[in-house]
């Protein structure tokens, strides 16, 4: 196991519930790695109010991410899929590497089958996730069929903060949908906690927190970013 003593990772969230999720994963994967968290719920709220992550929202998020480079971290991770494009934009504007947490999930999913089903609880997350999947498919020379479903019941529970009911609604949505796909992609990092409630099946279900952080940790270890 690599020694991450002295390494700091700045995480950029739009949901405070993700802070303990990534703290736990980092303690497991990279003991010694220091995590710092910034939570900007206002950016996600803006996207939801507008019905999408508009160019203005993405630019505002990218500027906020670039601002994080002044805090002395070794790398930055954007954990919100809705504003994921802001991570790519910020990566071109700063000397520090900026990672998009769902990119590793997208790369793996396009190699697992021809039918990819994207599940989200927020409609604003669908387009950014599908766009990322398509770009990774092109990179790998693949052309999967990508479908998507918004779990509206879970969305309301998510926005109202009813975590247990939210996770059960996500699990119910997964259970109802997995038979129609070769691989299921959970578009939002917050959905990963519903996996223990999902019925066992043969269809892979991919989530971004573990896959994404594993990729980032590998990059920190291999390339000393």
> How many domains are contained in the chain?
2
Task: Quote the pTM value.
Answer: 0.90
* Choice between 93 and 222, residue whose per-residue pLDDT is larger: 93
User: Which residue segment(s) compose the domain that 191 sits in?
Assistant: 104-208
Least confident segment among 71-80, 141-150, 152-161, 190-199: 152-161
Q: Does residue 118 belong to any structural domain of this protein?
A: yes
Domain CATH for 201: 3.40.50.1860
Over 80: is that where the pLDDT of 134 sits? yes
Same-domain status, 113 and 188? yes
Same-domain status, 216 and 154? no
Same-domain status, 25 and 115? no
pLDDT in tens, 172-210: 988 887 667 889 999 999 899 999 998 877 889 999 999
What whole-number percentage of the chain has pLDDT above 70?
97
Q: What is the mean pLDDT of the chain?
A: 91
Same-domain status, 20 and 66? yes
CB atoms within 10 A of CB 202: 7
Same-domain status, 33 and 75? yes
Same-domain status, 12 and 83? yes
Same-domain status, 179 and 95? no
Which of 26, 73, 34, 17 shows the shortest CA–CA distance to 210?
26
3-state helix, strand, coil in the chain (%, to 5): 55, 15, 30
Which of 184, 225, 189 shows the shortest CA–CA distance to 210?
189
């Amino acid at each position: 196991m690599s020694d991450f003593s002295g390494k700091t990772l700045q995480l950029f969230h739009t949901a405070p519930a993700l802070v303990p999720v990534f703290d736990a994963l980092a303690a497991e994967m990279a003991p010694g790695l220091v995590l710092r968290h910034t939570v900007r719920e206002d950016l996600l709220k803006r996207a939801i109010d507008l019905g999408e992550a508009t160019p203005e929202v993405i630019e505002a998020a990218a500027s906020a991410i670039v601002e994080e480079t002044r805090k002395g971290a070794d790398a930055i991770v954007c954990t919100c899929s809705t504003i994921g494009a802001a991570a790519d934009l910020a990566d071109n504007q700063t000397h520090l590497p900026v990672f998009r947490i769902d990119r590793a999930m997208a790369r793996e999913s396009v190699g697992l089958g021809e039918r990819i089903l994207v599940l989200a609880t927020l409609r604003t997350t669908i387009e950014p996730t599908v766009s990322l999947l398509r770009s990774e498919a092109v990179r790998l020379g693949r052309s999967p069929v990508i479908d998507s479903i918004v779990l509206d019941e879970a969305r309301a529970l998510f926005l109202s903060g009813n975590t247990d009911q939210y996770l059960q609604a996500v699990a119910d949505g997964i259970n109802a949908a997995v038979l129609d796909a070769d691989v299921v992609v959970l578009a939002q990092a917050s959905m990963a906690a519903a996996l223990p409630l999902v019925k066992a099946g043969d269809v892979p279900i991919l989530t971004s927190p573990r896959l994404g952080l594993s990729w980032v940790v590998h990059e920190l270890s291999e390339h000393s970013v």
